[in-house]
Amino acid sequence: MIKGVIFDLDGVLVSTDELHFKAWTKLASELNINNYTKEDNKAQKGISRLESLEIVLRKGSLTYQEKEKQELAERKNNYYVEMLDSLDESAVLEDVKEALAILKSKGIKIGVGSASKNTPIILDKTGLAPEIDAVACGIDVTKSKPDPEVFLIAAKKLGLLPKECLVVEDSYAGVVAAKAAGMKSLAVGPERKLLEADYDSETLLSETDWEAMLKIS
Q: Among residues 8, 17, 133, 200, which one is catalytic?
A: 8
pLDDT band at 217 (very low <50, low <70, confident <90, very high): low
pLDDT tens-digit profile of 69-93?
999 999 999 999 999 998 999 999 9
pTM: 0.85
Bridge-based pairing state of the strands 199-200 and 184-187: parallel
Distance between the two ends of the chain, CA-based, in angstroms?
A: 5
Check residue 176 and give its pLDDT: 96
CA triplet 136, 172, 25: central angle to 5 degrees?
A: 80
Distance in angstroms (rounded) separating the CA atoms of residues 16 and 126: 11
**pLDDT tens profile 93-124:** 999 999 999 999 999 999 999 988 899 999 99
The reply to whether 40 belongs to the active site is no
Question: What does each C-alpha distance from 67 to 42, 70, 73, 141 come to in angstroms?
Answer: 26, 5, 10, 20
* Residue 8 is among the residues annotated as catalytic for this protein: yes
On the CB side of 72, CA atoms within 13 Å amount to 23
Residue 133 above 70 pLDDT?
yes
Cα gap 22→41, rounded to integer Å: 10
